[in-house]
Amino acid sequence: MYYPEELIEEIRIQNDIVDVISSYVQLNKKGSTYFGLCPFHNEKTPSFSVSSDKQMYYCFGCGAGGNVYTFVMEYENFSFVEAVKFLADRVHITLPTVQVSDEVKKRMDMKHQLVEINKAAARYFYYQLKSEKGKVAFDYLQNRGISEEILKKFGLGYSNIFRNDLYRYLSKKFDDRVLSLSGLFVPEKSNPKEYFDRFWNRVMFPIFDVHNRIIGFGGRVLGDFNPKYLNSPETKLFDKRRNLYGLNLARSSRKENIIIVEGYMDVISLFQSGITNVVASLGTAFTSEQASLIKRYTDNVVISYDSDSAGIKAALRAIPILKAKGLSVRVLRVKGYKDPDEFIKNKGKEAFEDLIANATSGFMFEVEEMNKNYNLDDPESKTKFHKQVAYKILELESEIERDNYIDALAKKYNTKKSLLEKLVAETGKNTGIVSPRQEIKNNREKNKNSEDGIILAQKSILTLIANNEDIYKIVKKHLKVTDFLDDFYRNVAKEVYQAYEKNNKVEYAVIINKFIELDEQKKVAGIFNINIVFENKMQLEKIINETVKLIKAASIDASSRTVNDTNELQKLILAKRELQGLHISLKDG
């Protein structure tokens, strides 16, 4: 924690959550709660609630929730410290100077200078584009149909034909040592102390991070020279694997999916046509880190790469990476056109949206591409294709998913579903895929169900005690904080128990403040907002008994696995036995 807890709490108190969220979301008051359309998922009926009393928000549709810090972190993609600074500025609180080591200060100063260098370079490129020297680049962009408004929004520019033009301009403002780390310059081989511009005679595309800071550049050459596209190298600011071109704009589109394209011009052209939820990878194969970045904003991805063989191969490589991160993947084919840019210029926004609506699932796309290697008019080749399809189906973990795709593939390739099912079963048995996998899977699911049950029990009991002090007084006699085996729920339990002991009440927004990571803040909000349904007091009593026993039994089992003393082990065995006869009455409080 960079700042004292008291200061963090003071900033939160002065930033009323209704006021803050109202600047992003239109809210309507219903009773003591405000409702609006959730900014974190696509919905038509308001399920996003903001409580002035609790100083919390919660969406009953997607489960997003937390206090004012959580909202700013999630909406603006800020770190906790960035959210503190943002909200402090909003209420004119001056934050104390943070004492950091000389090494940390040096790194922070270096990054700040690199951001300023990139900003100055982008301004210079933009100026060059509008000058007489940049006419060739300006004409190129106009011929590509780029409007003046979009040109400004994406900060497009031009690096002119002189090989050290930018260096001579920036060396007047910044030290050579820092300029050399920016990625914008390359040392002369004959004299390493002299530099020339990495980019020259190129249309320039500034690359922004999600906070709209320029972290690098891409350049498209004018003329028949190679490479056609050139990107900034890796720097202290720029990591190609962890950034996506256009994400700074796409993340706030609030669409149900994000479209991945290949190039800068695809992003810009689609954006200009009104398709704003579009990003591009940065001259590298799609990465796991980029998939994780997309996962922050959506669960659904549409791949729209170029229609050539390289685009198809790139899509086939990206599909498993995206699926591994839990993303649903569909693939859009731009038939008759080489890329999305060309398609939308000829067919328009509505036609492109039709393509999105009818995009092929990632799995079916993979099978369709596999099909190109076989002649389905030849019985032998067709049989080989079906065997390959069977292997592909066996990769699917879910039995329902397998069944659905078997049905779809049988219809698409004019095969009896029963025969394809039989082939899948035989293939799995002959290759040893099904039986061992099923056995491992069953054991894994058995263990997982047991673990999930304990996790759910911890979450449920915390919900009950956080919302009812009488239940807390009863439960605390049987459950200690240390009985919560999960680190996260143990920390929440500690805060809830302490809140009751100190203040005789739980302030939800205050407890959320104890957690810095966004995911943890959202999980805490979920605990406080979950609805545990019971018809009467007797049913509530039953829920409490079952939940407490499950948590306590797991705690005893965990202790017995680490204890070495025989007497201690006997005590644990006795405690486990006594637990069977435990009955908690709500009258005990």
Instruction: Convert 464-494 into a string of H (helix), E (strand) and C (coil).
Output: HHHCCHHHHHHHCCCCCHHHCCCHHHHHHHH
* Lookup: tokens for 35: 């409702």
Identity of residue 565 = D
Confidence band of 439 (pLDDT split at 50, 70, 90): very low
What is the model's pLDDT at position 358? Answer: 93
What is the model's pLDDT at position 217? Answer: 96
**CATH number at 100-238:** 3.90.980.10
What is the model's pLDDT at position 31? Answer: 87
**CATH number at 5-90:** 3.90.580.10
What is the model's pLDDT at position 504? Answer: 84
Segment 217-237 mean pLDDT:
89
Identify the weakest region by mean pLDDT among 95-109, 168-182, 230-244, 343-357: 95-109
Contact (Cβ atoms closer than 8 angstroms) between residue 273 and residue 301? no
Query: Tokens 């006869």 identify what position?
Result: 581
465-492: per-residue pLDDT in tens? 998 999 999 999 999 999 998 899 999 9
**Could you tell me which residues come within 8 angstroms of residue 578 by beta carbon, excluding any fewer than 6 positions away?**
none
What is the model's pLDDT at position 557? Answer: 86
What is the model's pLDDT at position 189? Answer: 85
Looking at the predicted structure, is the pLDDT value of residue 292 above 60? yes
Query: Tokens 């301004």 identify what position?
Result: 123
Which comes out higher in pLDDT, residue 193 or 323? 323
Strands 258-261 and 328-331: unpaired
498-522: per-residue pLDDT in tens? 999 998 888 999 999 888 888 889 8
Which comes out higher in pLDDT, residue 491 or 44? 491
Segment 198-215 mean pLDDT:
92
**30 phi, psi to nearest 5 deg:** -135, 105
Query: Tokens 């950034």 identify what position?
Result: 243
**188 phi, psi to nearest 5 deg:** -65, 135
What is the model's pLDDT at position 441? Answer: 46
137-188: per-residue pLDDT in tens? 999 999 999 999 999 999 999 999 888 899 999 999 998 989 999 999 999 8
Nearest to 90 by CA among 199, 171, 39, 17: 17
**Average pLDDT across the chain, whole number:** 88
What is the model's pLDDT at position 436? Answer: 41
Q: How far apart are CA 146 and CA 83, in angstroms?
A: 35
Q: How far apart are CA 203 and CA 170, in angstroms?
A: 19
Question: Could you give the count of Cα atoms lying within 13 Å of 257 in the half-sphere of its Cβ?
Answer: 19
CATH class of 443-588: mainly alpha
296-321: per-residue pLDDT in tens? 788 899 999 988 899 999 999 999 99
**Burial class (CB within 10 angstroms; exposed 0-12, middle 13-18, buried 19+) of 68:** buried
Instruction: Answer whether the bond into residue 227 is a cis peptide, omega within 30°.
Output: yes
Confidence band of 435 (pLDDT split at 50, 70, 90): very low
Segment 57-65 mean pLDDT:
88
Is 3.40.1360.10 the CATH classification of the domain at 245-362?
yes
* Lookup: tokens for 356: 């999105």
Q: How far apart are CA 16 and CA 151, in angstroms?
A: 38
Which range of 126-130, 176-180, 568-572 scores highest in mean pLDDT? It is 126-130
Looking at the predicted structure, is the pLDDT value of residue 206 above 60? yes
Q: How far apart are CA 207 and CA 122, in angstroms?
A: 10
Predicted TM-score of the model (pTM): 0.66
What is the model's pLDDT at position 66? Answer: 93
Q: How far apart are CA 151 and CA 459, in angstroms?
A: 50
Contact (Cβ atoms closer than 8 angstroms) between residue 271 and residue 278? yes
Looking at the predicted structure, is the pLDDT value of residue 55 above 90? yes
Looking at the predicted structure, is the pLDDT value of residue 437 above 60? no
Q: Where in the chain are the domains?
A: 5-90, 100-238, 245-362, 373-431, 443-588
Segment 31-36 mean pLDDT:
91
Q: For the chain, what is the total number of helices (H) and then of strands (E)?
A: 26, 16
Q: How far apart are CA 233 and CA 114, in angstroms?
A: 13
What is the model's pLDDT at position 104? Answer: 55
Angle between helices 537-560 and 434-466 (to 10 degrees): 120
The 48-51 sheet, strands edge to edge: 28-30, 33-36, 48-51, 56-59, 65-66
Segment 107-116 mean pLDDT:
81
Nearest to 296 by CA among 327, 324, 321: 327
What is the model's pLDDT at position 451? Answer: 53
Confidence band of 447 (pLDDT split at 50, 70, 90): very low
Looking at the predicted structure, is the pLDDT value of residue 450 above 60? no
Sign of the CA dihedral running 448, 453, 454, 460: positive
